[in-house]
Each structure stands twice: as structure tokens, then as C-alpha cells.
Chains A and B, each alone.
Chain A
Amino acid sequence: MSDNTYHKVGRRPWEWKLKPIGTDERPRLRLPGTRRHWLKWRDVHNPKTLRRERVLADKMPLWWTLGLGFVAIITPFMPNSMISVMSIFCIYAAINVLWTLIVGTAGIFSLATLAVVGASGYVAAAANVYLGVPWPFMLIIGPIVGFLFGAILAAPSTRLDGLYYALLTMGVAEICRVFVVQLRALTQTNGAITQVDSFIPEAWFLQRPGLLLGFAGAFLLLLGALLVWRLVNSERLGMLLRVARTSREDEAFAEAIGIDFRRARLMVFVISSAALGVVGAFYTMYYRSISPTIFSLDQLLLLFAMMVIGGLGRAEGAVVGAAIVTMIDKGLVELGPPRIILVAFIMIGVTIFAREGLTGARHQFRDYRKRKSGERRARRTEKGGEAMPEEATEVHDKQELYYRRFNKRLRDRLKTLITPELIEEHKRDPLGHHSDALARVLNYFRRAEMADKYVIHRMIPTEERFRIMAVSGVRGLPPRVVDDREYTDINDAYHAVFLLRVNDLLES
């Protein structure tokens, strides 16, 4: 071999990998004040290339940075209408991330998310408009209202489960809507509070600088929601719930091992309700008004569709789903009603084919691939006497496994050699000089184990009567008679034995 072309091996040969230097110590950046690392670097040994590599074991931070960075960079160059679409996307994504915290981490199927947002938005707006509270304090009033509202809503969640609780929260949203619409002070504006003060100056409202400022605020809001999600999930609260999740059916068990996970669930619910209160205050300021549509079922279903398309219970799913649905709903407004139909069809399609939404598709595909390769392996090894993988671990002498595999392949090869011509050739001349194929087949037969090997029995009183027997293979145990046919010619008996052996070979 003189040419020096090397071919890369492995499943993804094109992937760029860091190569650690063995003598250097890996620099570990930690979050200040904690022992946590920024990124999950791992030095691993690649069994294919036989090299050491430094890989990012959890690549999600990379994708988050790329995606959010792309949104932040590209938006200022967009036309005005698209900037407001991006801001709405950020607000919806923030709500969805916090809702994901309730549904996924806490496991409470609440539909009152928008009710919390709306209630805190309304109270904050009322405080601003009627009591003259300046706008920065709305961002404090909002979470306080959200916290109180969340605490009230959370109370029955331990008692009711699943759908019953979902119904109750849906009822709460409806009650909020009716209550607001019926308020006498708001009847002339159809239940809306307008002229709310905002972080966007009055002169800039709906102008380009105002839109950009609004987008900046919405983007920060999304980052804040993600931070809340991250903190809750990576701290003790989230860990407790992750442990308890495996035993969600068995609450008694989780409590017996010392997890007060009802309390943990309530804590998560209340924390995310307070965060939703911030979103509510922001929402009011962003639009400078708030109207009862925020309590409507359609709005809720749209948000639910976002979570479902992205993947229920995952932060990235909430954001991806919000991006897709907002782009269709707000970006294609000229399409009219069909755009909602499109959203519905995407929702149905994703749910039929994907187990956990679009962001779970990768994991699902890997599971599928693993299952299929397992099935293929099972199909490969199920025939021909070769050892099954489960069986192989039990066999002490590994030589045996290779002998069985060799035998199986040999038999597969010999089976292709057996033809009517070959049988005819043996019939003509059982002993003597044979063709290559027949010689190979006969060699295999001769090498067979003694157990159940066919032999010819020359019957004692007469000279020329033969029958076929099979030896037992056990010392002291006599051979058994295979059938009652007798042959007067030894060549016929040879050929009969041959046929029996061919039959056994083809059946193996």
C-alpha cells in the first residue's frame, strides 16, 4: 500500500472537534459565586478514531445563543410591521415558557395562564390610570397580583387532578372575562383600559423608535422568562420535581421517600404566576391598553397550539412553537381565515406524527433508528443456529459462538450448492471422484457431530440387506432405526443417507 489516502471513520466524520492537549489542564469557567460551569465540556475517548476529543455534551446553550442572537440582530433591520410581529413573538414566547414551567415542570394542567396575565395587567393598568402610579411601579404591582392570583388558583390544584383542574381554570378565565366586561366603570370602552402610561414615550408610540424600544423590552422579557425557567429547573425545586416525576402516579411513594412534592409543585406554580404577572404588566404597557380579549378562549387556544407544535413541556418547544404560529398568524394576515386552518392542520400533523412536538422529533427519530437497528440485528441472528446476543453473554466459551457463526455461514453457502444435478451426480456414483461442489457438501457431512449421525447397518443374517440408523452419540446408548426401508444395494443405501443429510441441511 503506497498511496497515503486516509478515510475518516465514524458516523459524522465531517464534525469539527476540539482536540485537547494531554498535558494541559482544562480551564473551567465557573459562574461567579457558585460552583456551576457555564458549559458542559467533556473530554471523551472516541472509540472509532482512537483519539481524545473535547466535546460539548449539552449543545442546547449553543443553539439558544445562535437562535436568540439571530432574532436580536436581524430585527432592527426589518420593516415596522415585522418589528411588531417580532415583539409579539417575544411576548408570546415568554408567556409560553412560563406556562411550560407550570405544565411541564410542575405538572399542573392549568388553562388560567392568560387569566393571570390579564388580571395582573388589568390591576396594574387600573393603578396607573386611576391612582396615578408611575409606570415603573406597574412592574412591581403586576407580579404581586400574579402571586396572589396564583396562590388562590394553586390551592385546589392538589385536590383536583388533570382535566377537572383544567376545567376549573378555564372557568376562572371565563369568570374574569365576564367580570371585566360587566364593570360599570369600563362600559364606555367595552371593558378595556386605555391611555396607560408606558416605558415607550407617548410621542414614539407606533413610530419606529418606539417599536424598536418595545422589541428591546419584549426581548428582555423573553430572556427573563428563560432565566426563570432555568433557575427553577436547575435548582433544588426542579430537581425534586424531576425525581418525583417518575412517580407522579404514586404520590404516596414520592412523599414516603421525603419529597414534599405537592409543596414543590405549588411553589413552581406560584413563582411562574408571579412571573406571568410581570408579563401582564409589560403587555399592558406595550399596547398602552388592555382589553377583555386576553381572557378569550381563542387566544388561549392559539397559545396552546404554539406549545403543542413546539413540544409540550420544553422551553425550546415553547419558543419554536411561538415563532411558527406567530409568523403564520400575524405575518400572513392577508391570508384571512385559512391561516388559522393552516395552524390547526400543522397542530394535527405534528401531533399525529411526533410524540413530543417538533423539538422532540430528533429524540424520537433516534429512538426509531435504535429500534429499527435492533430489529434488524434480531432478524440477522434469529436463524441458523447462531447465538442470539442475549444468549451469547451466557456462553462462557466465546470460541463456541464463533464456531456456531462459522457453521451457519458454511451451511448458508452449502445450501446454494445443492441442485438436482448434484443429487443426480451422487446417485450415479456415491463413492469416487466428485465435482467440487459435491465434494464440499460431502466433506461437511463427514465432519458432522456424532449425535444423530446417519449410518448404514448391514443386517446380520444376510449379506446384502441394509437399513439406515442414527447413532445416539452417547456411549452405551444404542443407535435408533430411522425408518423401515431396506436396501439390497449398498449404493442405494449410500444415496439414501445422502438424501437424508441433504434434507436436514436444507431444513436447518
Chain B
Amino acid sequence: MDLGLIVYALNLASIYALMAIGISILWSSVGIINMAHGATFAISGYAAWLVTGALKPVIAAAFGKTALASMVMAGALVGSAIVAGALCGVIIYLLAFLPIHDKPNYPVRALIITLGLNIATVQGLLWTFGPRNQGLPKIFGFGRWEVFGTRIRYDQAGTIIGAIIVLGLTLAWLRYSRRGLEIRAMMQNAEGAAYSGISRQITALPVLMLTGALAGMAAALLSQTIFVSPTSGVIPLVKGLTIALLGGLGSVAGAVIGAILVGFLEAIVGAIPFLGQRYVLFATFLFIIAVLIVRPRGIGGLLDDTRE
């Protein structure tokens, strides 16, 4: 296996991990299977496109063509995507969590509402912006490094490093902050957390904003490789969902392992000549079905058993 394949696999894995961890954390703490994660992804991409489009002349006037200008541009892109993702999280909180979180049938209803939001958003984006792909400015620049004889593109390296940094920060926040402690308590046992005085209503909002921001970050990073389009959220959503389930819902480590496995699987299947890109999803699902039949609760799915 050559190094380019590994880098490509890691690139896929880091994006998938960002999506899957968001879905996984959200399910285990708040109890929503967030089908609107793809919508968050697409909206963040469009927000970044709009903001960078609006700021381009301003930045060019202020900084010219210096390295500082591209830094500011990168900041604007990532920042707007993250803010848009967090705002989407607030909308999901207001529609899919707040009105029904203490009503019967809550998980299924939350799933349905987020699904409805997803459909409405995709169709709304299609209606407003049309089906055309939109390219975002390349924040990592064009070019490649030569490492051990293989070439690594800047955007691939940037995506992998950025995803690792963001995931590290998120996990550190979950591990060391007070709010993170509350969220982890809710992930372990929602009822027990409520008995200890942790408000579900108050804790759900940062969780939704965090997962939304993770989806926004994924959108910003993926926009370096592919274009932004109204349906660009569907594939990351399906991948994120499948990986979250593969890793076992509620297990962050399982989600990371799942993302890496699926990333490598896709890279390898895509590289095999007689299979190619068309069989990637096919192979992924076959792999996941095989894993689920062997381990019905996913790779790290011991948590679900303890939750019951």
C-alpha cells in the first residue's frame, strides 16, 4: 500500500469522524438521531460560500495579496461555517427538542422532525441557489508536499490536521470542562444525571450547538476537496450515520475506529481497478452489515447495554 492511499484514507476518515462523532454524541446525550445533520452540513457550506464571496473584495482591499489575506480568508470561511452550523443546532433545538422532549414517543418523533428539516432544507437550498455546484476559496492554497516519495496535497494535509485539532479540542472540552462533565453524565445515564441536578433542557442546547459546529467544520474542510451543492449533505449524513451506528451509538472511540476503518475500506475499494468508485457505497454497506451481524451493537456498543 502506498502512502498516497493512506493519506487519502485518512482524509476521508477525518471528515467522517467529524460527522459521526456529532451524531453519536447527540444520540447518547440528548436522544435525537439527527437526520438534519446533512442539512447542517449543506447550510454551513453555503454560509461559508456567501460570507467569503461577500468578504473577498473587502479582504483584497485591506490586505492585498499577502499571506495575511489568505489567513483572514481562511478564518472567515471556517468561522462562518462553524457559526452557521451552531445556529442550525439552535434551530434543531427549538423544533426537534424543546417542544417534544418530555412527550411520549420522543426519539421517533425527534427523528421524524429532523428528517423533515433535512428534506425542507435540501429542497429550499435547491430552490434558492439552484442545483449548480459552488466552489469555495482554497484556504490551504494549491500545491503539494513531497514526503517519502509520494505527494500530499495541501488540502488533504490541512483537512487531516484540522480535523484532528478540532476533535482533540472537542474531546478535551468534554473531558475537562464543567459543561463537558454534565454532557458526559447525560451520555452515561440520562436519568441519573437528572437526579443529580443536571438540566436536560439547558444541557441539550450546547450539545446541539457543538454537534452543529462539528458538522460546519466538516463542511468547511470538505469544501476544499469537493464543491458545495444543495445535496452535498446527503452523502456525509449517510456516511456519518452508518459510521456512528457501526461504532456503536454513544461511543466516541467506536466512532473514530469506525471512521478510520470505513475511510480505509473506501480508499482501497476505490483503488482496486475492477471495482472502482461506483462500488464504494456497496462495499461499505456490505462491510457494515457484516459487522452488525457479528456485533449487533456496533464496535463499541457496550454502552447501550448499560443504558438499559
* Residue in contact with B296 in the complex, picked from A160, A338, A347, CB distance below 8 Å: A160
Contact code string A300-344 (vs B, CB < 8 Å = 1, else 0): 010011001000100000000000000000000000111011011
Q: Contacts A168-B292, A182-B278, A301-B119; is A348 near B126 (CB within 8 Å)? A: no
User: CA separation between A347 and B297, bound complex, in Å?
Assistant: 30
Chain A interface SS verdict (over half)? helix
Inter-chain contact B119/A355, CB cutoff 8 Å = no
Q: Are A312 and B108 in contact (CB under 8 A)?
A: yes
Interface size class of B (residues with CB under 8 A): 35 or more
The reply to whether A344 and B116 form a contact with Cβ atoms under 8 Å apart is yes
User: A322–B105 Cα gap in the complex (Å)?
Assistant: 22
B285, A171: Cβ atoms closer than 8 Å: yes
B249 near A: Cβ within 8 Å?
yes
B273-303 Cβ-contact flags toward A at 8 Å (1 or 0) = 0000011011001101100110011100000
A304 to chain B: which residues have CB within 8 Å? 115
How many inter-chain residue pairs (CB < 8 Å) link A and B? 100
CA of A178 to CA of B284, assembled, Å: 12
Instruction: Assess A178 versus B95: contact at CB under 8 Å? Given A164-B292, A168-B289, A355-B104.
Output: no
Q: Is B10 an interface residue (CB 8 A)?
A: no
On whether the beta carbons of B296 and A164 are closer than 8 Å, the reply is yes
| Residues on B with beta carbons closer than 8 Å to the beta carbon of A343 | 119
Q: Which residues of A contact B103 (CB under 8 A)?
A: 355
Nearest-neighbour CB distance to chain A for B76, whole angstroms, equals 30
Write the chain B residue with the least CB distance to A356: B105
Q: Say yes or no: A171-B288 contact (C-beta < 8 A), given A164-B298, A341-B127.
A: yes
- Shortest Cβ gap from B100 to chain A (Å): 6
Please indicate the chain A residues that have their CB under 8 angstroms from the CB of B278 in the complex: 178, 182
Nearest-neighbour CB distance to chain A for B270, whole angstroms, equals 14
Please indicate the chain A residues that have their CB under 8 angstroms from the CB of B179 in the complex: none
The 0/1 profile, CB within 8 Å of B marked 1, for residues 391-415 of chain A is 0000000000000000000000000
Please tell me if the beta carbons of A338 and B127 are within 8 angstroms of each other in the complex.
yes
Contact in complex: A352, B113 (CB < 8 Å): yes
At the interface, yes or no: A156 with Cβ under 8 Å from chain B?
yes
Q: Which residues of A contact B115 (CB under 8 A)?
A: 301, 304, 347
Is B141 interfacial (CB 8 A cutoff)?
Answer: no
A312 nearest in chain B by CB position: B108
CA distance A178 to B103 in the complex (A): 40
B127 pairs with A337, CB closer than 8 A: yes
* Measured CA separation A192–B167 after assembly (Å): 44
Are A344 and B119 in touch, CB under 8 angstroms? Answer: yes
B114 — nearest CB in chain A belongs to which residue? A348
Shortest CB distance A340–B (Å): 5
Point out the residues of chain B lying under 8 angstroms from A344, CB to CB.
Answer: 116-117, 119-120, 123
Contact partner of B116 (CB less than 8 A), chosen from A336, A338, A345, is A345
**Is B109 an interface position by the 8 A CB rule?**
yes
B245 CB-CB contact with A under 8 Å: yes
Could you say which of B109, B117, B288 has the most chain A C-beta atoms within 10 Å of its C-beta? B109
Q: Which residue of A lies closest to B245 (CB)?
A: A167
0/1 string, B223-259, CB within 8 A of A gives 1: 0000000000010001001100100010000000000
Check A156–B293 contact: CB distance below 8 A: yes
Looking across the interface, which residue of chain B has its beta carbon closest to that of A307? B112
**Minimal Cβ-Cβ distance residue in B for A349:** B116
In the bound complex, residues from chain A placing their C-beta under 8 Å from that of B113 are 347-348, 351-352
Contact A163 B245 (CB under 8 A): yes
What CA separation (Å) do A338 and B297 show in the bound complex? Answer: 39
| Residues of chain B contacted by A178 (CB below 8 angstroms) | 278-279, 281-282
Which residues A168-219 have CB closer than 8 A to chain B? 168, 171-172, 174-175, 178-179, 182
Q: Which residues of A contact B296 (CB under 8 A)?
A: 159-161, 164
Residues of chain B within 8 A (CB-CB) of A164 are 245, 292, 296-298
- Of chain B, the residue at the smallest CB distance from A161 is B296
- On whether the beta carbons of B285 and A174 are closer than 8 Å, the reply is yes
Residues of A within 8 A of B108 (CB): 312
Instruction: Tell me the minimal C-beta distance from B46 to chain A in angstroms.
Output: 16
Q: Mark B26-69, 1 if CB is under 8 A from A, else 0.
A: 00000001000000000000000000000000000000000000
| A337 and B123 in contact, given A164-B297, A167-B292, A178-B278 (Cβ under 8 angstroms) | yes
Contacts of B104 in A (CB 8 A): 355
Within the complex, the shortest CB–CB distance from B240 to chain A, in Å, comes to 12
B75 at the A interface (CB under 8 A): no
Question: CB within 8 Å of B: which of A448-493?
Answer: none
A173 to B57, CA, bound (A): 47
Once bound together, how far apart are the Cα atoms of A356 and B109, in whole Å?
Answer: 9
A156 neighbours in B (Cβ, 8 Å): 292-293
Q: Which of the residues B123, B241, B245 comes within 8 Å of A341, measured between beta carbons?
A: B123
* Chain B nearest Cβ from A313, distance in angstroms: 10
Which of A167, A172, A348, A355 is B120 in contact with, Cβ under 8 Å? A348
Residue from the set A175, A179, A182 with the largest chain B CB neighbour count within 10 Å: A175
Q: Say whether B112 contacts A174, CB under 8 Å.
A: no
Is the CB–CB distance between B126 and A305 below 8 Å? no
How far apart are the CA atoms of A160 and B108 in the complex, in Å?
17
* B112-A347 in contact (CB<8A): yes
Rounded to whole Å, the gap between the CB of B230 and the closest CB of chain A is 10
Does B168 lie at the interface of the complex (its beta carbon under 8 Å from any beta carbon of A)?
no
Known: A161-B296, A341-B123. A348 touches B281 (CB 8 A): no
For B98-136 the 0/1 string (1 means CB < 8 A from A) is 011001110011001101110110011011000000000
Q: How far is B178's CA from A24's CA once the two chains are assembled, in angstroms?
A: 77
- Set of chain A residues within 8 Å of B297, measured between Cβ atoms: 164
Which residues on the A side are within 8 Å of B120 (C-beta)?
A: 340-341, 344-345, 348
What residues of chain B lie closer than 8 Å to A312, measured between beta carbons?
A: 108
Report whether B105 and A352 are in contact in the complex, using a CB–CB cutoff of 8 Å: no
Residue of A nearest to B117 (CB): A348
Q: Report the Cα distance A161→B298, complex, angstroms.
A: 11
Identify which of A156, A164, A297, A356 gathers the most chain B CB atoms within 10 Å of its CB: A164
* Distance A156 CA – B103 CA, assembled complex (angstroms): 31
| Residues of A close to B105: CB separation below 8 A | 355-356
24 A-B residue pairings within 8 Å (CB atoms): A156-B292, A160-B292, A160-B296, A163-B245, A163-B249, A167-B245, A168-B288, A168-B292, A171-B285, A171-B288, A175-B282, A175-B286, A178-B281, A182-B278, A301-B119, A305-B116, A340-B119, A340-B123, A345-B120, A347-B112, A347-B119, A348-B113, A351-B112, A355-B105
Q: A164-B298, A168-B288, A352-B100 are in contact. List 7 more A-B contacts (CB 8 A).
A: A164-B292, A164-B297, A172-B285, A174-B281, A344-B120, A351-B112, A356-B105
What are the 4 A-B residue pairs with the smallest beta carbon separation, nearest first?
A171-B285, A344-B120, A347-B116, A348-B116
Which A residues form the contact surface with B (CB < 8 A)? Answer: 156, 159-161, 163-164, 167-168, 171-172, 174-175, 178-179, 182, 297, 301, 304-305, 308, 312, 336-338, 340-341, 343-345, 347-348, 351-352, 355-356
